[in-house]
Amino acid sequence: MRIGIIGGGAAGLASAWLLERDHEVTLFERDDRLGGHAHTVDVEVDGRALRIDAGFQFFARSAAYATFNRLLDELDVPRTTYPATLTVSRIDGTRPVAMPPFRHGRLVWASLTPRAITHLLRFRAFLSRLPAFLAQHDTTVTIAEYVERERLPKAFVDDFLFPLLLAFWCVDLDEFRRFAAYNALYYLGANLPRGLRPPDQCEIPGGLRAYVDALVASLGRTTLHTGSGVEAVTRDADGTLLVEAAGSRHPFDHLVLACNARQAHDLLASLPELAETTRQLGRFRYFDTTIAIHGDRRLMPRDRSAWSVVNVRTDAAHSALSVWNPSRGADVFKSWVTYDEDLPRPLYATATYEHGLIDTDYFDAQRRLRPLQGQHGVSLAGLYTDDADSHESAIRSAVAVAERLAPDSPRLASLRAPGG
């Protein structure tokens, strides 16, 4: 078949990789860069050239990222691990709670106040109950309802737990309270600490660009069109799907929309036979997040001994992350600055991404889209179509497309779970 893929992020590239040996594949990406949220930027800090992952970053060698790791294995992409330490502090960097409360064998004394110790003990008890909840895969419970059901002390929730969870999304607190608890807690449950040791995370030498480059280099049969935004999708009299891009019309037997739900909705709205698919796509909502790569220590805990890889700064209304890689030997940070009045200085780069609002409606729409997949020659791929909001879901969505369109693909077999 002639298959067109719209979107050159992880889901689109993985779909092309899985399909190209069985079909004639053409991929369209509106940006000049491939990879989507797997986005590595080049910056110069004190005369040193550094590569910083501005978008997606955190993953581990765990079941939560099993398909993604199998893809990296197939592409021979190396990974290294590091301890993902975590600190929660006020917006001005004071009152840090460091997890674990020591660094390099030394106690973080600023994090050993009665308040901090109480929060740490309650947090450990909270974490111990997460696996059982996540195993139920109940996507109908909001994070506010889950916390109320757990009967957690209000001071712990308001002063520590919600600020910590909220930082990974950088939305208004009232909006976050409506997030599905399953997704809001997914990252914590997928990366539980081992005793007093922080959980291990992975990074790719050279940044995620190395993975994207390896994936693109392996596409020996796919025709790639970058800087080529799709303007419309129509259908001619014989049922052929037509993609209009860069002033040309391209005919296809099947389309894979690997863009986000909002973009897919707009492209499919003119096809009446896909009215139900379009209706469900319209239920997904998005918000923008701005990331800054910078060298401003004011966005870190005031006490340097409390610095972690992941640092949460919070006020009464918002929380945000500042990520630091101590192995670089440089004070360069990646910070969520969506609600900051002033950008940090020195500023090396900024990037803005669209993220899904992962409320209970999101998962209901996801569920209702599943039986519509592949109908009328159209498939949907992207993290919003498969489970929690993660890079693993993007890759799994491509696997689901391949299971329909190229079920005997050796590449597909390599990404399936053993015995699956």
Question: Which pLDDT does position 197 carry in this prediction?
Answer: 87
- Give CA–CA dist 26/42, Å, rounded: 29
Q: Tokens 């009328």 belong to which residue?
A: 376
Mean pLDDT to the nearest integer, 99-113:
91
Which residues face 35 on adjacent strands?
9
**Number of alpha carbons in the 13 Å side-chain half-sphere of residue 126:** 23
- Domains of the chain are 2-39+208-282+364-415 (3.50.50.60), 78-203+286-356 (no CATH)
How confident is residue 55, by pLDDT bands cut at 50, 70 and 90? Answer: very high
Joined together, the tokens standing for residue 13 give 């590239």
Joined together, the tokens standing for residue 346 give 């020195």
Question: Which pLDDT does position 420 carry in this prediction?
Answer: 62
Mean pLDDT to the nearest integer, 311-331:
94
Joined together, the tokens standing for residue 246 give 């860069």
How confident is residue 317, by pLDDT bands cut at 50, 70 and 90? Answer: confident
Look up residue 157 and give its DSSP letter: I
How confident is residue 17, by pLDDT bands cut at 50, 70 and 90? Answer: very high
- Give CA–CA dist 75/63, Å, rounded: 19
Question: Which pLDDT does position 230 carry in this prediction?
Answer: 98
**Radius of gyration over every alpha carbon of the chain, rounded to an integer in angstroms:** 22
Q: Tokens 């139900």 belong to which residue?
A: 276
Q: Residue 413 pLDDT more than 80? A: yes
Residue 289 and residue 353 in contact, taking contact as beta carbons nearer than 8 Å: yes
- pLDDT tens-digit profile of 363-397? 999 999 999 999 999 999 999 999 999 999 999 99
Question: Which pLDDT does position 193 carry in this prediction?
Answer: 84
Pairing of β 254-257 and β 378-380? parallel
Residue 1 and residue 405 in contact, taking contact as beta carbons nearer than 8 Å: yes
Indicate the SS3 state at residue 59. strand
Residue 302 CB coordination number (10 Å): 16
Indicate whether this model's pTM tops 0.85: yes
Joined together, the tokens standing for residue 257 give 């929309």
Q: Residue 191 pLDDT more than 90? A: no
- pLDDT tens-digit profile of 270-283? 999 999 999 999 99
Q: Residue 195 pLDDT more than 90? A: no
How confident is residue 12, by pLDDT bands cut at 50, 70 and 90? Answer: very high
How confident is residue 173, by pLDDT bands cut at 50, 70 and 90? Answer: very high
How confident is residue 417, by pLDDT bands cut at 50, 70 and 90? Answer: confident
How confident is residue 104, by pLDDT bands cut at 50, 70 and 90? Answer: confident
Mean pLDDT to the nearest integer, 46-70:
95
**Percentage of residues of the chain with pLDDT beyond 70:** 100
Residue 320 and residue 310 in contact, taking contact as beta carbons nearer than 8 Å: no
Q: Residue 419 pLDDT more than 80? A: no
Residue 309 and residue 82 in contact, taking contact as beta carbons nearer than 8 Å: yes
**Percentage of residues of the chain with pLDDT beyond 90:** 95
- pLDDT tens-digit profile of 246-266? 999 999 999 999 999 999 999
